[in-house]
Structure 1
Amino acid sequence: MASAAAAQLAALTNAYKELFATTFIGFTVSTTLYGVSVLQTYLYFRQYTEDQWTVKTMVATLWTFDSLTTIFVAHVLYVFVFGFLNREPEINIPWTFTAEKLLVTLITFIAQFFYAHTIWKVSLSKITTAFIVVLAVGSFGLGIYTTVHLFKNPALDSISTRSFLIVSGLVQGLAALNDIVITGALSYYLYIRRIHSLASSGKLIDKLVLYAVSRGTLTAIAQIMFLVLNVGVPHHQYWLPFHMAVGKLYVNSVLATLNVRQSLTQTEVQLGPGVSQLVNQNGEKSHIGISSKPITFAPIGVTNSTMTTVTLSRSGAPDVEQG
């Protein structure tokens, strides 16, 4: 009897140690990323005061969710530390962890929907946009299901059940697949513009392609590692750092997409429903115009006094205007 109690206490201690270690690592990484998102949010509201209220509301919502997830992760770490010190007889998932998971699900959906608008404006492809939206909605719906499951079953072993692992794996799998599709679509349609654009616009489009690949790779890798570790080693919590980081990667990718307008040379960027803005090489705003269209990147090349705009028509063919 005594040996069984000792074995149970040892198992409990090891479980708490693992929870503390993985949560601490995740908290450290996520807090660092949160600092970056705070800076990016400040820069956005300082530099882009002309954007429509819908874009500003999206940014404020993402920052609020990001802040709450940081607070919730800190609370989870607090619970695990003092639970270990008090030698509680069982391990339950804190409600703040489940709430943080819900917010990450919402952040992922908002970010992927944002990029669905970007794909639509760049390509005007209903099929590609619809596919991205379906994947985003599917991941969001299953994410809500797993969140409700955790609220109803807060025991730690509930996340290791076969049914939960299947649904959770689908959530991360759909999200990772969507990131890959978004990255591939952005790169492909921007590359088409690269082929049909003038030389002065080519370098700019190359930068946009590189940026699209970079942001998509980070979020996709985080989702894939989350999936592999969650399903591959279900009785361990090695996936926690990736779960805590992935939401903040989405927030920073959206904010970076908005803030990059200031750094692109002679680039007209429409974010919608939002603002069309032309900036020069020194980063000074040259033209501000309100646009009701969703999201597009329209490179502008300036040679002497001639300005060339490269866009795609609804049929997908490039339209070049000079003036």
Structure 2
Amino acid sequence: MSTSDLSSPSPAEVENLVVLFVGFALATFLYGLTFFQMYIYFSRYSNDDIWTRVLVGALFVLDTTSTCLVSELLYHYLITMFDVSMDVLYATTTFCIQDLLSVILTLIVQLFFARRLYTVCGGPSSITSRVVTVAVFFCAFIAFVFGLTSVGQVFKQRQLSAFALPPMAIVAGISQGFAAVTNIIIVVAMCWSLRPARYPDMHVPEGVIDNVVVLCVGRGLILAVVQLAFLGTFVAAPGKPYWIAFQMISCRVYVNTVLGLLNTREVKHGVGLNEEETLSDRQDSRNEGIPSALRFRMPLSTKATQQSVSFSRQDENSGGSEIEEASKSYGDDENLSSVRSRCSEQPAYDKASLS
């Protein structure tokens, strides 16, 4: 390859390198959020359920491994293969392993939400709970199986542009499609289950920011949006590298959604309380732990009532203290005046006796 060819890369090469760099930058940023949220969780919820703590640790380890593989992948394409034309991207072993970890992380997060739905939809006594949980399990399992098949095809074919071929495109499309259906079921079921009509003691979020956090993180809307964008990009242009960026960031969005859901809970004695927990338990937990910036606030009427009660108590206490101080000062003044009168009378008495 001549020097002129190196100085003027082809449009396809520029497209491939830009997609790789953008995917790496977003993946690195999201991993920073993963590390920060992991630290918050283990510092606040020290007595949380052992399985939840194991889940958070496993998600962090897998996400860290995947991010390291993405970094090595970018180094391979931009540094090691600097003198080689990038008109066509070839999947390295690192890329295949990273794709496999993405499929595994997607399954773990979807199973986590399935377990959450099993609880909030009514538990074992509810038919709706069992139906919704089975539907999520089934769709997630289908997406996982076809995802593994797609990874095997990539490992065998190596050329990423081969996804334009019908066999590979169909397998990958089914995997992404069932993953999107799973996330949509999760969002609808979470919004239907976690509503004030079913849980009267549940905290009601206030303001735009709190409602967005609840909808995107607490109900899993961000998962459905990212997965649908991934699916749409792949279906629209399977032979183009645009879907690679979504493949790099989607698993980190999944991980951060679970960590965000766990970290927005109230904490009581080191144990996290879900938003559907009783109001009394959540009120007792407000003085413990580090205050969360995403904590859901109480209704305005409740706040006003508590503030008025506290103000009235403060007024009563301050009034009582003022009366006590006034009585003390009045007693001190009387004692002081009596002492002064006695001292003034004593010299007069002595003078009279001498005269």
**Residue number in structure 1 paired with 2:116:** 118
Structure-2 residue corresponding to 1:139: 143
- Cα distance in 1 for partners of 2:202, 2:134 equals 29
Residue 183 of structure 2 corresponds to: 179
Please list, as runs of the form range in 1=range in 2, the aligned pairs for 1:81-160 lying within 5 A after superposition.
81-82=78-79, 84-87=81-84, 91-123=89-121, 124=123, 125-160=129-164
Equivalent residue, structure 2, for 1:80? 77
Partner of 1:167: 171
* Alpha-carbon shift at residue 205 of structure 1 (Å): 11
Residue equivalent to 1:38? 35
The CA distance in 1 between the partners of 2:8 and 2:163, in whole Å, is 18
Give, in angstroms, the shift of residue 112 of structure 1.
0.5
Distance 1:212 1:184, change over 3 A: farther
C-alpha displacement of 1:82? 3.1
Question: 2:148 is matched by which residue type in structure 1?
Answer: I
Is 1:17 paired with 2:14? yes
- Whether contact under 8 Å (1:146, 1:167) holds in the other structure is yes
Q: Letter of the aligned partner of 2:240 in structure 1?
A: H
Once the two structures are TM-superposed, the CA of residue 51 in structure 1 deviates from its matched residue by 1.8
In structure 2, distance between residues paired with 1:80 and 1:99: 16
**1:243 corresponds to 2:256:** no
CA distance in 2, matches of 1:284, 1:107: 32
- 1:230 aligned onto 2:234: yes
Provide Cα deviations, 1:203-248, integer angstroms capped at 9, x if missing partner: 2699997545313222212111111111211221111222111101
Letter in 2 for 1:160: A
Distance 2:185 2:72 in 1: 35
Q: Secondary structure at the match of 2:241?
A: coil
Structure 2 Cα separation of the partners of residues 132 and 126 of structure 1: 10
Preserved contact between residue 146 and residue 174 of structure 2 (Cα < 8 Å):
yes
2: CA distance, partners of 1:226 / 1:201: 34
Q: Structure 2 CA distance, aligned partners of 1:283 and 1:261? A: 14
The answer to whether the 8 Å contact 1:93/1:155 transfers is yes
Deviations 1:135-158 (A, max 9, x none): 111111111111111112212333
- Amino acid paired to 2:153: H
SS of residue in 1 equivalent to 2:36:
helix
CA contact (8 A) 1:183 1:212 kept: no
Deviations 1:32-57 (A, max 9, x none): 11101100001111111112332211
CA-atom RMSD, angstroms?
3.4
Q: SS at 1:76's partner residue?
A: helix
Q: Deviations over 1:55-113 (max 9, x none)?
A: 21111111111111111111111121135522259742111111111111111100010
More strand by share: 1
Which of 39, 62, 65 in structure 1 is aligned with 2:62? 65
The answer to whether the 8 Å contact 1:102/1:147 transfers is yes
Residues 176 and 227, structure 2, Cα contact 8 Å, conserved in 1: yes
Q: Percent identity?
A: 27
Larger deviation, residues 253-262 vs 28-37: 253-262
1: CA distance, partners of 2:168 / 2:175: 11
Structure 1 residue 11 displacement after superposition: 12
The 3-state SS of whatever aligns with 1:138 is helix
Question: Which protein shows a greater Rg?
Answer: 2
Letter aligned with residue 176 of structure 1: A
Report SS of the residue matched to 1:85. coil
8 Å contact kept, 2:265–2:274: no
Helix, strand or coil at the partner of 2:242: coil
TM-score, normalised via structure 2 length:
0.69
* Equivalent residue letter for 1:56: R
User: CA offsets, 1:256-296, max 9 Å, x none?
Assistant: 111111379xx97269xxxxx746464516xxxxxxxxxxx
- What stretches of structure 1 move > 6 A for 4+ residues in a row? 8-12, 205-209, 301-304
Are the equivalent residues in 2 in contact too, given 1:263–1:283 (CA < 8 A)? no
- 1:169–1:230: 8 Å Cα contact kept in structure 2? yes
Q: Distance in 2 between matches of 1:63 and 1:118?
A: 20
Residue 260 of structure 1: aligned partner: 264
Q: Equivalents in 2 of 1:157, 1:196: separation in Å?
A: 50
Secondary structure of 1:86's partner? coil
TM-score, L = length of structure 1: 0.75
